[in-house]
A and B are shown apart, each in its own frame.
Chain A
């Protein structure tokens, strides 16, 4: 009896714990394009803005004005700024392209211990999938540099731009820094949970079980 209870409890717990999906797109979900853009970096012409990706392999991208930065969805980019007179792109590119691991490690050290680099605390995480019924095609976060002086780089979320399957675009301002405003266009009603799965399914399933039990009864009677 104890073993049966243990099995039941394990099944219950296992069902509550979700799978680690990694790059697999889960059932009933679809991929969505995500990027972020720094809106006002042309106001800081003496600085270079860089997105540093510590995971999965240390890498970086120079952020250009007006350009939306795409990245691997499991990365957590750190936005940094460095004065142009301290920036040597050639050596950084050499670290990036090196096949030798010890040289590639220099890239990580550069971003983690370079005293000239100013790091921001802004947290950026990509949205990689949405439910299949969600009409959003792409999400673009727009950030602005609020303060850049000495060793302080303050970057805030300004707005988010949603692009939908029907070609329309919606821009929504951030009211709270760590909460992305929801899109106004809601998932299609025709494929929302309530309409897709009604109680009629349970009735059909129940009738099938009754049919199977009847067949089982008839077969056992014949034997």
Chain B
């Protein structure tokens, strides 16, 4: 299952870099991005496999939490943070859903 976290990193970190490349160095985006994904993905998987629930809503909450981290760490506006959070999660969830990754 851990391979899915690696796949999430491979999708989300390049998207983070695209949005934040003017705000920070690549290495910082890389390790902070890894921590952000790991902090949400592990809890999401634990909850989903233990209790089930509406996966779209859970993904939405994950996107909100990630947006909050982006805003706190890079001092971006709320709108920009939400765009980043939701883009990352929509792309990674969408590709996973379609079984393309």
Q: Which residues of B contact A219 (CB under 8 A)?
A: 73
User: Bound state CA distance, A212 and B31, in angstroms?
Assistant: 10
* Stretch of A77-85, A154-162, A200-208 lying at the B interface: A200-208
Is A11 in the interface zone, CB < 8 Å from B? yes
Per the bound structure, the CA–CA distance linking A208 and B46 in Å amounts to 15
Stretch of A16-24, A45-53, A87-95, A166-174 that contacts chain B: A16-24
B1 — nearest CB in chain A belongs to which residue?
A196
Cβ-defined contact, B54 with A208, below 8 A: no
Q: CB within 8 Å of A: which of B87-101?
A: 97
Choose one: A193, A204, A215; the contact of B42 (CB below 8 Å). Answer: A204
Whether A197 is near chain B, meaning CB under 8 Å from some CB there, is yes
Whether, in the assembled complex, B58 has its beta carbon less than 8 Å from a beta carbon of chain A, the answer is yes
| Contact yes or no, A197 B54, CB < 8 A | no
As a 0/1 sequence over residues 1 to 28 of chain A, the CB contacts with chain B under 8 angstroms (1 = contact) are 0000000000100111111000000111
Q: Which of B31-47 contact A (CB under 8 A)?
A: 32, 35-36, 38-43, 45-46
- In chain A, positions 38-60 with a C-beta closer than 8 Å to chain B are none
Task: Give the secondary structure class of A's interface.
Answer: helix
**Whole-angstrom distance from the CB of B42 to the nearest CB of chain A?**
3
B38–A205 CB distance below 8 A: yes
Given A197-B49, A202-B46, A205-B46, A18 and B35 touching (CB < 8 A)? no
Q: B35 contacts which chain A residues (CB < 8 A)?
A: 208, 211-212, 215
Cα distance A197–B53 when bound, in Å?
A: 16
Is A62 in the interface zone, CB < 8 Å from B? no
Is there contact, CB below 8 Å, between B53 and A16?
yes
CB interface residues, B 10-63, toward A, < 8 Å: 32, 35-36, 38-43, 45-46, 48-50, 53-58, 61
- Provide the residues of chain B in CB contact with A197, threshold 8 Å: 1, 45-46, 49-50
| Additional A-B contact list (16), CB under 8 Å, known A202-B42, A215-B32 | A11-B61, A15-B53, A15-B58, A17-B54, A18-B53, A19-B55, A193-B50, A197-B46, A197-B49, A204-B38, A205-B46, A208-B39, A208-B42, A211-B35, A212-B36, A215-B73
Interface of A toward B, CB cutoff 8 Å: 11, 14-19, 26-28, 193, 196-197, 201-202, 204-205, 208-209, 211-212, 215-216, 219
Which residues of B are interface residues toward A (Cβ below 8 A)? 1, 32, 35-36, 38-43, 45-46, 48-50, 53-58, 61, 69, 72-73, 97
Closest 6 A-B residue pairs measured CB to CB?
Answer: A205-B42, A208-B39, A208-B38, A197-B49, A201-B42, A15-B53
